[in-house]
Homo-oligomer: A and B are copies of this chain.
Amino acid sequence: MSKGITSRSEDYSQWYNDLVIKADLAENSAVRGCMVIKPYGYAIWERMQAILDKRFKETGHSNAYFPLFIPKSFFSKEASHVEGFATECAVVTHYRLKNDGSGNIVVDEEAKLEEELIVRPTSETIIWNTYKGWIESYRDLPILVNQWANVVRWEMRTRLFLRTAEFLWQEGHTAHATSEEAIAEAEQMLEVYADFAENTLAVPVVRGRKTENERFAGALDTFCIEALMQDGKALQAGTSHFLGQNFAKAFDVKFTSKEGKQEYVWATSWGVSTRLMGALIMAHSDDQGLVLPPKLAPIQVVIVPIYKTDEEKANIDGFVKNLQKELSGKDISVKYDDRDTQRPGFKFAEWELKGVPVRVAVGARDMQNGTVELARRDKQTKETVAQEDLANTIEVLLEDIQQHIYQKAIDFRASHTTEVNSYEEFKQVIEGKGGFVSCHWDGTVETEKRVKEETKATIRCIPLDAKEEEGVCIFTGKPSSRRVLFAKAY
């Protein structure tokens, strides 16, 4: 099959788009900025959901569901929140269509809503309005709730998975009796995300804190995980917010403490979205197609028979049936691609494009020799191995692939993280090989904005593990006590 994928070196952005389309992950829909997530792409997202959901539950959270619509007035109750989202809201104004008499379907102007409804861009306001009814005393706390939902932000420039008008995500919203407890929750969920990114997505991340300028609208503190893509640009892969008492005050949510006092409730929210699909694709894939870490691959092993006669095929079938059973017993997902409409070479290319981690090819001679050809997608290597104990061989190989993909991403990040001490150096790196640039910054929003204007690089985060270190801001020369990470970003 002809893959028709632009190479990364030629045009990284086009490579990404080609890959998403050709690997059947997603496509643009007829609705501006909204995507269709195709079955193969959705299967990967479902695996992400299942693993994250399990971790949320293990950390004491329950799922619930809140309305898609938010009354406009709710939205305005938290000042910085409305400011952050007002410019990208889909607004419902009517609730009926009608036939205009000449056969055209038009909006029925008589069915105008008294108050416009916003399609949720995030749910803090509707949820805190609900929590008001759930919380009376400290006994009702903490509330540890998560929601899997669709949200809409009317972005003007969209890209499949990375930035779409509608996207899928989860949003955790928790309520606590103390500031300390809420901060601990926000930090805990950041670690859940970081662990998921590293051990499931095989994407190493920097755990950090956003600057004031990059904080979530309504948060006192935003924690984030930042990943590095192969083009040297950073991608924010998840955020966890300490919201203080901002939403409790906006919606008047108080509780009676153990000491009998009325106090405002402390909040967090945290989320990851289908954007993770973009991170996954861009972190590992190559010019031949997707490279999926085994833990997320909907198909972990594909088996392709190579034969000339029906007898040869029947012989191979018997072997494969057994192998499939053994692999399934190990919870390894396997597909036997015995379509007779395509040649082996076509199949090899197709599964390579779709990022299946392991390919087993087995032909008539293999059957005589008691061997198969085992190919790994990540290194694009293949070897002849024994049929005996093959399921175990594959199990070990899948673990090795997961590790190798992760290590490769760690190595890439290491070679694309640069410490600089002058603005000259800074610009050289940012405009050159890119990646994370670690440097001193004077802590002001003004400097951050100036640097962004001049270089398009933003402060991705103040790493949580950053050491105290005397230094001077590369831009203003003012004193600084800690390095931050700059990068161009998605």
What residues of chain A have their CB less than 8 Å away from a CB belonging to chain B?
A: 27, 29-31, 34-39, 42-43, 45-46, 62-72, 74-76, 82, 86-99, 104-105, 107, 116-119, 126, 129-130, 133, 139, 145, 149-150, 152, 154, 166, 168, 341
Contact = CB atoms under 8 A, between A and B. Distances in A.
B90 A91 contact: no
A481 to B, nearest CB: 38
Contacts of A104: 76
B90 A90 contact: no
B64 A38 contact: yes
Q: Which of A66, A67, A92 has its CB near the most chain B CB atoms (within 10 A)?
A: A67
Contact of A36 (B36, B38, B64, B149): B64
Contact of A65 (B37, B82, B93, B99): B37
- Top 8 A-B pairs ranked by shortest CB distance? A39-B62, A34-B67, A37-B65, A86-B97, A95-B154, A91-B94, A76-B105, A31-B67
Contacts of A126: 29-31
B71 A31 contact: yes
A31 B97 contact: no
A170 to B, nearest CB: 13
A97 B89 contact: yes
Contacts of A166: 67-69
Contacts of A149: 150
A42 B63 contact: yes
A64 B119 CA distance: 21
Given A37-B65, A39-B62, A92-B119, 11 more contacts: A30-B67, A31-B69, A43-B62, A65-B168, A75-B105, A82-B97, A87-B98, A89-B97, A90-B94, A91-B96, A139-B341
A251 B380 CA distance: 42
Contacts of A63: 39, 42-43, 46
14 contacts: A29-B66, A30-B129, A36-B67, A39-B145, A45-B65, A68-B166, A69-B90, A82-B97, A87-B96, A91-B96, A93-B93, A93-B107, A107-B116, A119-B119
A24 to B, nearest CB: 10
Nearest to A94: B91
Contacts of A87: 96-98
Contacts of A66: 29, 36
A131 to B, nearest CB: 10
A70 B94 CA distance: 15
A117 B31 contact: yes
Contacts of A46: 63
A468 to B, nearest CB: 41
A97 B89 CA distance: 7
A42 B62 contact: yes
Contacts of A93: 91-94, 107
Contacts of A42: 62-65
Given A88-B95, A98-B86, A107-B91, A68 B152 contact: yes
Contacts of A43: 62-63
Contacts of A341: 139
Nearest to A130: B36
A126 B372 CA distance: 45
Contacts of A68: 34, 119, 150, 152, 166
Contacts of A86: 96-99, 105
Contacts of A118: 97
A42 B57 CA distance: 13
A104 B79 CA distance: 11
